[in-house]
Amino acid sequence: MAATITGWGHCAPPAILTNDDLATITDTSDEWIVTRTGIRQRHVSHVNSGQLGLVAAQRALAAAGCSPESLDAIVFASVSPELIIPSTASLIQKRLGVADVAAMDLNVGCSGFVYGLAVVNGLIGSGVCRRVLLVAAERLTWYLDWTRRDVAVLFGDGAGACVLEAGDAEEGLLAADLGNDGAAAGALMVPNFGTAMDRIKHDMLDITVDFDGREIFKRAVTGMVRSTHTVLEQTGHGIDDVDVMIPHQANLRIIDAVGQKLGVASDKVFTNVDRYGNTSAASIPIAISEAVEQGRISAGDLLLMPAFGAGLSRGAALLRWGQRTNPVDQSDAALPESSATGLELIAPNAKAMRERNPKN
């Protein structure tokens, strides 16, 4: 009894931050960002990650044609939770108005959705749950030091969600490979957040992303290729059997390198990193939702989802899509309105960081 996706949805906050916008506050250019990453713009959220996740969840529930009360569990994957205590999954439960359901958060960086699929598959396959909502939402712009051009240009905000249920014998999650290299955890880290933070010594501007881009790049390519080979071997499939590859969207050069090493035809690879930047755990479910909306996924398609991120974590999921490619229903859920631009939303933090790091 494998878990199959019966509903999908995503939520992109309205404010856009273009590369040219970033070039007005830090020493970068549209040309550098597009050439090195493929990113042209990213969304900046005016609300927290739980609110983004709630809207994506409501859209996924409508697409699945099921009520929140029919859920057995809510799993929330994120590295930018709304609060540390309680879990953001429990906040989404409250806002959905569900009286009793299992709820938990997963912190696996950009691999969070792939890990989430494996966890949900375990819950469904063991009979503990019948229907699970898997939400991934990130407000990564909250963490960014806008004077650090090597990091600030890469990330964006957004949310994606899927409803998963037991499918028939032929469909659902066929295999997942998960791994983590804790010895390299320092390559991608937010060092002063959590109980490691000295509440007297540190202030909130100390909370930023530390990052070794080149090291992550190399490990991302080898990790995603390795996990893909494992799931293909486990299921007896060849790479040509894959109909659509929906990789974690961090950098177009990483996606191209993974596609080339695996020998995946480029027209089978779905990308939207140009419009979102890296939305960490949310990137794959946002891409799934857009791919279905654009008619890129057909009934019975074999989906390959490789991912890599903080931890340093890696993984790949191989999933046979079910019969549903049209939503059962549409949700009218929406974020609270905001007309602020991306630059306006980040301006107070960017100003404070510039005053603190005038030389960056």
- Give catalytic residues, as residue numbers: 110, 248, 278
Query: How far, in Å, are 287, 299, 334, 335 from residue 11 at the CA level?
Result: 11, 24, 8, 8
Residue type, 224: M
Q: Which of residues 39-98 bind ligand UT7 (CB under 6 A)?
A: none
Q: Which is nearer to ligand UT7, 57 or 250 (CB)?
A: 250
Looking at 159, 250, 264, 304, which residue binds ligand UT7 (CB under 6 A)?
250
261-278: b or e for each residue (b if 16 or more CB lie within 10 Å)?
A: ebebeeebbbbbbebbbb
Looking at 110, 117, 133, 317, which residue binds ligand UT7 (CB under 6 A)?
110
What are the residues whose beta carbons fall under 8 Å from the beta carbon of 233, sequence distance 6 or more? none
Residue 312 preceded by cis peptide, ω within 30: yes
Q: Which of residues 135-194 bind ligand UT7 (CB under 6 A)?
A: 149-150, 153-154, 188
- Give the whole-angstrom CA distance, residue 18 versus residue 246: 24
Looking at 37, 93, 147, 208, which residue binds ligand UT7 (CB under 6 A)?
37
- Contact between 309 and ligand UT7 by CB under 6 A: the answer reads yes
Least CB distance from residue 259 to ligand UT7, whole Å?
Answer: 16
Least CB distance from residue 24 to ligand UT7, whole Å?
Answer: 13
Q: Which is nearer to ligand UT7, 150 or 241 (CB)?
A: 150
Report the chain's C-alpha Rg in angstroms.
Answer: 19
Residue 155, phi then psi, degrees to nearest 5: -110, 160
Q: Which is nearer to ligand UT7, 90 or 251 (CB)?
A: 251
Question: What is the residue whose two structure tokens read 């879990």?
Answer: 87
Residues 58, 313, 12, CA angle at the centre, nearest 5°? 30
Piece of 26-34, 50-58, 76-84, 138-146 that binds ligand UT7 (CB under 6 A): 26-34
- Give the whole-angstrom CA distance, residue 271 versus residue 302: 17
Q: Which of residues 184-213 bind ligand UT7 (CB under 6 A)?
A: 188, 213
Least CB distance from residue 232 to ligand UT7, whole Å?
Answer: 22
Residues 15, 286, 305, CA angle at the centre, nearest 5°? 145
Looking at 6, 278, 289, 313, which residue binds ligand UT7 (CB under 6 A)?
278
Site residues for ligand UT7 per CB under 6 A: 28, 32-33, 36-37, 110, 149-150, 153-154, 188, 213-214, 216-217, 250-251, 278, 308-309
